[in-house]
Structure 1
Amino acid sequence: MKTESLLSCSRKDTVYTTINSCVIALVGLVILLINRLWEPFERGFFCDDDSIKYPHHDSTIPSPVLYGVGFSLNIVSFILIEAVFLRNCKNSRTNKNQEQNVLQTYFCVVFNVLLPFLYGAAVVQLVTDIAKYSVGRLRPHFLAVCQPDLTKFNCTDGYITADICTGDNALIKHARFILTISGVIPDPGHASFSMYSMLFLVFYYQARLTWKNLLLLRPLLQLIVFCLAFYTGLSRIYDYKHHWSDVLAGNIIGVIVSLITVFTLTDLFKRRKSSDEQQTDNNVKLESIRVNKPVTKL
């Protein structure tokens, strides 16, 4: 890989980083406004709907754990892997002026991966919230937390839309597919966020862990992070938090946003392609030198 392409970090890049950070903050503001101002759709139910009669359980993977693992695992990977990669490039340099900008270059390279990741995470949250607030599908444990007042409705009426719940309002709102943390921060879609964050990491490992001597390290790490996302989705089903189709939809959202983010907003695979092309050019030049080198007479 050309060292110059990695070390193109200037004051202009700092301005771009600031602008991109503002864009991420803007998407976050939209999410908060949706949470505050959008009146969610309240869906009714039928008495014979067995899909909403399951018991209520605590989440196997709480939201803080989801956020903590999803963000920290990615950020730590970016910091460590880019440090190793930059160190290898540093060892190949002889320009002292470039060595003075190593720290600036390091932060620039990390932010070039981190900012697209954060933007994609915000997009996943936004799309998930729009789906939740628009559809308002009742969770499998709805009746368990609703505790309906049997005197306020008659099952012979068919579709029931009246306010007949007597349970805790926060749990009822949760069971209507809407939940906030401390009344302010939107609760993440476990399936969509976990699939997005872990799949982003799978692609990142694919692009950056190219050490030939550690052939099985990359697929092992990719398998681990994918299983984390897969298990998170399954936990939402056996905890009776979501229907299986909701988890599937969340996974699809996570996959689509991850693909778009990695291949349109980052240069991970462009870097690798440039590195391969440079190596090919070097091999061609070396072979040309060998072929054209005159034979020395003894």
Structure 2
Amino acid sequence: MYFNIELVPLLPRTVKRIMCVDFFKGVVNSCIAFSLGLIILLINRLWEPFKRGFFCDDDSIKYPHHDSTIPSPVLYGVGFSFNIVSFILIEAALLRNSKNSRTNKKPGQNIAQTYFCIVFNILLPFLYGAAVVQLVTDIAKYSVGRLRPHFLAVCQPDVTKFNCTDGYITADVCTGDMALIKHARVSFPSGHASFSMYSMLFLVFYYQARLTWKNLLLLRPLLQLIVFCLAFYTGLSRIYDYKHHWSDVLAGNIIGVIVSLITVFTLTDLFKGRKSSEEQQTDNNVKLESIRVNKPVTKL
């Protein structure tokens, strides 16, 4: 899925060996992620959601329609920018510390290439996971066709075309804006909840793996709390904006959590044998002490 980089398990990290020369594989993997984005675009453009009927006495779809507290451009802008900026700044700081801490610099070692490979190996899986989240969410949305809480407000049904005594109304009785009506038929699951939870939880895991400086003990949990609260608040806003039912938000959060876990632990090396400098020094001291204890006494 990503270029191979082998690093010494120290923080600050030291580059042991770089193999970022397989340009073809990088292009192929990037094309795979891009193709998922294209499929998502085609689904939104060409796939008509399942046309579910309604009951006249269904109070869950009678809420008013108004603008979102967190519009989609803000959602995706914050979700992508927070992660990308974090990757760029934190990896640059770690690589700078690694460069300053080295005493034996290998000939031909390219710091710029190393930095690009490290960021690419984190960024590409993140983008791929984001595409997977959106794809799974859209397939569910258009297949289920659950009506949003504000469906009747945008549908504006023509009361002369149906009779509430008939029970379940399946006829095409809407007179409102067709784009809004189509959007009001894709409530389950919440796309805002799934993407925000995925992107922010990915960032929580990233901070857990990279921010291991002991002298900044509370920095990591503070950042993790902030980004998690952003995702949590996004889901809540979809409920009080009457854009989704609470179960839609719950389902979206579950999708985001599952995809984030799979992406982090199968497509990245964030938690594969990385240790802090203090932990590594402790291990080295233990090994030295073991050697001293087990070393046989030589008689003169």
Common fold: TM-score over 0.5? yes
Distance change >3 Å, CA 84–CA 28, structure 1 → 2: same
> In structure 2, what is the equivalent of residue 244 of structure 1?
246
Alignment of 1:110-121 (within 5 A): 110-121=119-130
> In structure 2, what is the equivalent of residue 89 of structure 1?
98
Q: Please give the alpha-carbon distance, in whole angstroms, between the structure 1 residues aligned to 2:219 and 2:57.
A: 51
Contact kept in structure 2, 1:47 and 1:158, CA below 8 Å: yes
* Alignment equivalent of 2:114, drawn from 98, 102, 105: 105
Amino acid at match of 1:9: M
CA-CA distance at 1:40 after TM superposition:
1.9
Q: Please give the alpha-carbon distance, in whole angstroms, between the structure 1 residues aligned to 2:134 and 2:117.
A: 26
CA-CA distance at 1:21 after TM superposition:
0.5
Q: Please give the alpha-carbon distance, in whole angstroms, between the structure 2 residues aligned to 1:146 and 1:6.
A: 62
- Structure 1 stretch displaced more, 169-178 or 285-294: 285-294
* Alignment equivalent of 2:77, drawn from 68, 74, 93: 68
Q: Does 1:143 align with 2:152?
A: yes
Q: Does 1:213 align with 2:215?
A: yes
Q: Does 1:9 align with 2:19?
A: yes
Q: Please give the alpha-carbon distance, in whole angstroms, between the structure 1 residues aligned to 2:118 and 2:103.
A: 20
Distance change >3 Å, CA 146–CA 98, structure 1 → 2: farther
Contact kept in structure 1, 2:64 and 2:150, CA below 8 Å: yes
CA-CA distance at 1:231 after TM superposition:
0.2
Amino acid at match of 1:248: L
Alignment of 1:192-207 (within 5 A): 192-207=194-209
SS in 2 for 1:33: helix
Distance change >3 Å, CA 6–CA 63, structure 1 → 2: farther
CA-CA distance at 1:97 after TM superposition:
4.1
Q: Please give the alpha-carbon distance, in whole angstroms, between the structure 1 residues aligned to 2:268 and 2:186.
A: 33
Amino acid at match of 2:115: Y
Gaps of 5+ in 2: 1-8
SS in 2 for 1:242: coil
Amino acid at match of 1:228: L
> In structure 1, what is the equivalent of residue 257 of structure 2?
255
CA-CA distance at 1:87 after TM superposition:
1.2
CA-CA distance at 1:175 after TM superposition:
1.0
> In structure 1, what is the equivalent of residue 142 of structure 2?
133
CA-CA distance at 1:276 after TM superposition:
8.2
> In structure 2, what is the equivalent of residue 183 of structure 1?
none
Distance change >3 Å, CA 276–CA 99, structure 1 → 2: farther
CA-CA distance at 1:169 after TM superposition:
1.2
SS in 2 for 1:240: coil
CA-CA distance at 1:37 after TM superposition:
3.5
- Structure 1 stretch displaced more, 18-27 or 213-222: 18-27
Amino acid at match of 2:20: S
> In structure 2, what is the equivalent of residue 181 of structure 1?
none
Distance change >3 Å, CA 265–CA 276, structure 1 → 2: farther
What percentage of residue pairs aligned between the two structures are identical? 83
> In structure 2, what is the equivalent of residue 182 of structure 1?
none
TM-score if structure 1 supplies the norm length? 0.89
> In structure 1, what is the equivalent of residue 6 of structure 2?
none
Gaps of 5+ in 1: 179-187
Could you report, residue by residue, the CA deviation over 1:210-248 in whole angstroms, capped at 9, with x for unpaired residues? 000111110000000000000000000000000000000
> In structure 2, what is the equivalent of residue 159 of structure 1?
168
Contact kept in structure 2, 1:17 and 1:111, CA below 8 Å: no
Contact kept in structure 2, 1:121 and 1:193, CA below 8 Å: yes
Distance change >3 Å, CA 293–CA 72, structure 1 → 2: farther
TM-score if structure 2 supplies the norm length? 0.88
Could you report, residue by residue, the CA deviation over 1:82-127 in whole angstroms, capped at 9, with x for unpaired residues? 1111112112323444574000000100011000000000000000
Distance change >3 Å, CA 166–CA 63, structure 1 → 2: same
SS in 2 for 1:166: coil
Could you report, residue by residue, the CA deviation over 1:143-167 in whole angstroms, capped at 9, with x for unpaired residues? 0111110000000111101111111
> In structure 2, what is the equivalent of residue 185 of structure 1?
none
